[in-house]
Homo-oligomer: A and B are copies of this chain.
Amino acid sequence: MTYKLGIPDEEFIRGKVPMTKQEVRILTIVKARLDEDSVVVDVGAGTGSISVEMALQAPKGMVYAIEKKNAALDLINKNCVKFGVENVEIIAAEAPGGMERLPELDAAVIGGSGNYLEVILDIIDSKLKPGGRIVLNCITLQTLNTAMVYMKTHHAYSYEIIQVQVSRYSQIGRYDMAKAENPIFIVTCTKNEENIDEED
């Protein structure tokens, strides 16, 4: 069996670790614009659902999955095995810990950043190729605001902010009943191809 982008949520092994839902995962990965040989980092990898799907999209590339929680690290590993993915390197650290050794990057996905988002963005910026992308999934207003302010003041980047709200209809007897998923802001940042002075 082969896996395409859009693995259903229930196929991932997840325990009690929160997981990005299918539709947000799809949009996040598509907006990262991976090639088959892309080198990417997944900061705050959680269950590894995004890392696994990125690894399948970039079979000749490499995904670095950074995660601090032991329970989650175990899930990332199990999901890589389940989906036959061999190009995910798991880094057991709280970002920005463990990030200095990352190679040059084609893209970065940030799902969880704790209190260190600016430092994490600085490190990613130092490694991201021109034309590369940073895609953030923001569930708090603080993360959203930090990302937005960062991109407004780093002129090497253009950015897009969307908010996505998905409701899923459960089939209960003869009824189809709405169940909302939490809204999420997806911030997609593109590093300009040319050199541009970054500060005002």
Chain B residues whose C-beta falls within 8 Å of the C-beta of A199 in the assembled complex? none
Q: In the complex, which residues 4-31 of chain A have their Cβ closer than 8 Å to any Cβ of chain B?
A: 4-6, 23, 26-27, 30-31
A102 in the interface, Cβ–Cβ < 8 Å?
no
Q: In the complex, which residues 142-194 of chain A have their Cβ closer than 8 Å to any Cβ of chain B?
A: 142-145, 148, 152, 160-169, 174-184
A2 CB to nearest B CB, Å: 9
Main secondary structure of the interface of A (DSSP, over half): mixed
A175 CB to nearest B CB, Å: 4
Complex Cα spacing A176 to B4, Å: 34
Structural contact, B162 and A169, CB atoms closer than 8 A: yes
Structural contact, A167 and B182, CB atoms closer than 8 A: yes
A34 CB to nearest B CB, Å: 8
Structural contact, B178 and A182, CB atoms closer than 8 A: yes
Complex Cα spacing A27 to B5, Å: 10
Number of chain A residues whose Cβ lies closer than 8 Å to a Cβ of chain B: 41
Structural contact, A176 and B27, CB atoms closer than 8 A: no
A60 in the interface, Cβ–Cβ < 8 Å?
no
Structural contact, A176 and B142, CB atoms closer than 8 A: yes
Complex Cα spacing A44 to B164, Å: 25
Looking at A27, A140, A164, A178, the one whose CB has the most chain B CB atoms below 10 A away is A178
- Given contacts A4-B33, A162-B166, A167-B182, are A177 and B23 in contact (CB under 8 A)? no
Contact with B along A55-99 (1 / 0, CB 8 A): 000000000000000000000000000000000000000000000
